[in-house]
């Protein structure tokens, strides 16, 4: 007879502490200015047309006490109905008022960490940060991993390690998700890009799971971010405007 997984003990106060410990920006550049022209003027991670934020119900309890920024997400098509239908009982999908109304202190853990997830090996070792591959054609940062700040990586890792202790189901979720990543990249015949625990570039061979140190050339940029010319053409096609000053500090 198999053992039941340990019950989550995470509380709103725990999430408040996690928020306090996860404040570092992803880099010193405002990457949202690079993807927004391709997404109707809003960063890809700030629109439920692209990414539906999923949170622990306990995290939403905290947010409701702190702000009116967030509300329960209402599915609007088949894909979003599927996302909601597949959530575990302790999770829910939520919606915010949008990037213009963002309150940085009241961002969810998922918002703070996007576009990364905790990557775990077959041996269930938390070795680094993987990227949500479905956004690679819309998220500029995923084509520029070398500019991610080390402090962000350290706070990301500390946050998820603390969550895994309080909620073992979160650990199981990412063990399974990491296995899914290996299957997807294996089908694509591509290597998995990671940021290691010290912010170093790593490469995972999806078939064997072997990990090696990566180099910048091992991380090809994804269209439309593969060249400035291609990016400008994509922005023009989307009816957007290329940022005039380039990237500014976040």
Q: In the structure encoding, which two tokens stand for residue 125, read together? A: 């070792």
Question: Can you give the C-alpha Rg of the chain in angstroms?
Answer: 18
CB 163 within 8 A of CB 174: no
pLDDT confidence band for 250 (50 / 70 / 90): very low
pLDDT score of 245: 58
140 in Cβ contact with 35 (< 8 Å): yes
DSSP H/E element including 72: strand 70-72
pLDDT band at 7 (very low <50, low <70, confident <90, very high): confident
Q: Determine the average pLDDT of the residues in 176-194.
A: 96
Residue with tokens 């299957």: 183
Longest Cα–Cα distance of the chain, Å, equals 63
Q: Kindly state the tokens that stand for 95.
A: 């919606």
Residue 208: the pLDDT is 95
For residue 249, give the 3-state DSSP assignment.
Answer: strand
pTM of the model: 0.91
């Amino acid at each position: 007879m198999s053992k039941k997984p340990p019950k989550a003990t995470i509380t709103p106060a725990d999430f408040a502490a996690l928020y306090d410990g996860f404040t570092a920006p992803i880099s010193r550049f405002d990457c949202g200015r690079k993807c927004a022209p391709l997404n109707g003027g809003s960063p890809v991670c700030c629109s439920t047309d692209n990414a539906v934020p999923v949170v622990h119900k306990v995290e939403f309890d905290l947010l409701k006490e702190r702000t009116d920024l967030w509300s329960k997400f209402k599915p609007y098509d088949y894909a979003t109905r599927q996302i909601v239908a597949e959530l575990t009982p302790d999770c829910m999908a939520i919606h915010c008022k949008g990037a213009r109304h963002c309150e940085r202190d009241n961002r969810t853990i998922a918002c703070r960490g996007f576009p990364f997830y905790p990557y775990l090996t077959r041996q269930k070792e938390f070795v680094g940060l993987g990227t949500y591959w479905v956004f690679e054609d819309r998220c500029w940062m995923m084509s520029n991993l070398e500019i991610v700040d080390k402090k962000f990586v350290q706070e990301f890792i500390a946050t998820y390690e603390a969550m895994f202790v309080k909620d073992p189901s979160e650990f199981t979720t990412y063990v399974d998700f990491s296995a899914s990543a290996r299957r997807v990249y294996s089908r694509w015949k591509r290597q998995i890009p990671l940021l290691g625990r010290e912010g170093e570039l790593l490469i995972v061979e999806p078939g064997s799971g072997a990990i090696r140190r990566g180099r910048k050339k091992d991380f090809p940029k994804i269209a439309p971010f593969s060249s400035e010319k291609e990016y400008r053409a994509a922005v023009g096609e989307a009816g957007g405007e290329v940022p005039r000053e380039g990237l500014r500090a976040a």
